[in-house]
Amino acid sequence: MDSSVCMSESHQRQMQVFGQNPTRVVDGYSEEFEQTFLDLMRRSHRFSRIAATVVYNEYINDRHHVHMNSTEWATLTEFIKHLGKTGKCKVEETPKGWFITYIDRDSETLFKERLKNKRVKSDLAEEEKQEREIQKQIERAAEKLNAGGGEGETSGKEVDDEKKKDEDLRLKSGVKVGFALGGFVKQVATGKERGESSKLVFGDEENEKVERGEKRKRSGDSGRSDKDRRSALDELMKEERMNRKDYWLFEGIIVKVMSKALAEKGYYKQKGVVKKVIDKYVGEIEMLDSKHVLRVDQVELETVLPQIGGIVKIVNGAYRGSNAKLLGVDTEKFCAKVQIEKGVYDGRVIKSIEYEDICKLA
């Protein structure tokens, strides 16, 4: 029997078309197969890292799908490698098979546009933010200096006030008075006694050095002058300003996903590890439970604190990039106490650092 009798008229026409230009037919089916497969990825697995076989099984559930044997790819593996080479998906070969992650070009464009707008707004608010941070840092540094220098140590403003009061008193009374500075007493003479006390105030250099040394010993002063302390404070504030950024993501930290748009996928308020930082503001997050990999903007992420004694990364501020041990937390002030480990500041204790400036390390 003629084989053409067993085939339908439409099948015969398709075979005839294929015989005339087989390459064009295969290319057309390949393009349709690829586009339909990617549409499924975009709809159902836009933010997920998922096994290629899972997606393929969902694809073939549609009875109108284009069969792979009509395309240029003989196997699913070949097709997956093609998606990786052409940059349409991120592909990974694992002991459990091939895994793919859809690369959302439209979302990346939106991300960059959002980041650009965010940077503009951030620049406008940066000056005000810096002023607040500087004020906080001044208060913290003043607390540290007061704790380390004892009761006799005074701030620059207090010193000026004390000098002014002393000058008024000197002019009114015309007698010798003394005032305390940093724990030692300095003599000031007026009137007739100015000549008698000149040796104390304007004595030779050697006598002044000996006198200062004795006074420091008696007062327990560390030897640092007010100028030195103010210089150290200025350096700390300068470093705070330089290291204070509007982005805070680091590889290796554990964050919490706060995007309600991902709630349907089960990622809302779930934790993951930052595997990669993209354009400073976007994190590639591997979820701890599912091992799925998502791309999330930092505005939809939140820092996580470990238990007391755990290790954190300081993600912003003067000590940005340092690792530290969590020593305690103040739940009322939303701040923590940490001790830096390794590096230039090894062993330094920071008594008050905000929750958002530290994050648990994986």
Q: In CATH, which of 3.40.718.10, 1.10.10.2030, 3.30.200.20, 3.40.50.1970 is domain 8-103?
A: 1.10.10.2030
Residue 8 in 3-state DSSP?
coil
Eight-class DSSP state of 36: H
Determine which helix (DSSP H) or strand (DSSP E) holds 153, and give its type and residue range. none
Spatial separation of the C-alpha atoms in residues 21 and 167, rounded to whole Å: 105
Question: The domain 246-360: what is its CATH number?
Answer: 2.30.30.30
Q: How far apart are CA 31 and CA 12, in angstroms?
A: 23
Instruction: State the greatest distance between any 2 C-alpha atoms of the chain, in Å, as a whole number.
Output: 141
Whether residue 254 contacts residue 272, with contact meaning beta carbons closer than 8 Å, is answered with: yes
**CA dist 361 → 89, 157, 239, 249 (Å):** 29, 42, 23, 12
* Ranges of H-type helices in the chain: 9-20, 22-44, 52-60, 76-85, 105-149, 156-173, 193-196, 198-202, 205-219, 226-243
- 36 torsion bin: left (phi>0), alpha (psi -120 to 50), beta (else): alpha
How does pLDDT run along the chain (362 residues), one tens digit per residue?
Answer: 444 445 556 545 555 555 555 565 577 788 889 999 998 888 888 778 999 999 999 898 888 888 888 888 989 999 999 999 988 899 999 988 999 998 877 655 666 667 766 666 666 667 677 777 788 888 888 887 877 655 444 455 555 565 565 556 555 545 444 444 444 444 444 444 444 444 444 445 545 555 555 555 555 544 455 666 666 666 666 666 667 888 999 999 999 999 888 888 889 999 999 999 999 999 999 999 999 999 999 999 999 999 999 999 999 988 889 999 999 998 888 899 999 998 778 889 998 899 899 999 99
78 Cβ neighbours under 8 A, 6+ residues apart: none
Identify whether the C-beta of residue 91 lies closer than 8 Å to the C-beta of residue 84.
yes
Report the distance separating Cα 265 and Cα 257, nearest Å.
12
pLDDT at 357: 93
State the sign of the Cα–Cα–Cα–Cα dihedral 221, 222, 224, 229. Answer: negative
Joined together, the tokens standing for residue 123 give 């620049």
**CA 247 – CA 62 distance, rounded (Å):** 44
Q: Tell me the two tokens of residue 79.
A: 């097709």
Q: Which amino acid is at 312?
A: V
CA dist 289 and 19 (Å) reads 52
User: How many Cα atoms occupy the beta-carbon half-sphere of 150 within 13 Å?
Assistant: 12
Domain map (residue ranges) of the chain: 8-103, 246-360
Nearest in space to 198 (alpha carbons), one of 188, 208, 211: 188
- As beta bridge partners, residue 50 has 100
Task: Name 77's Cβ contacts closer than 8 Å, sequence gap at least 6.
Answer: 98
* Pairing of the two strands 335-341 and 349-354: antiparallel
Q: Radius of gyration over alpha carbons of the chain, in Å?
A: 35
For 297-317, b/e burial (b = at least 16 CB within 10 A) is bbebbebbeeeeeeebbbbbb
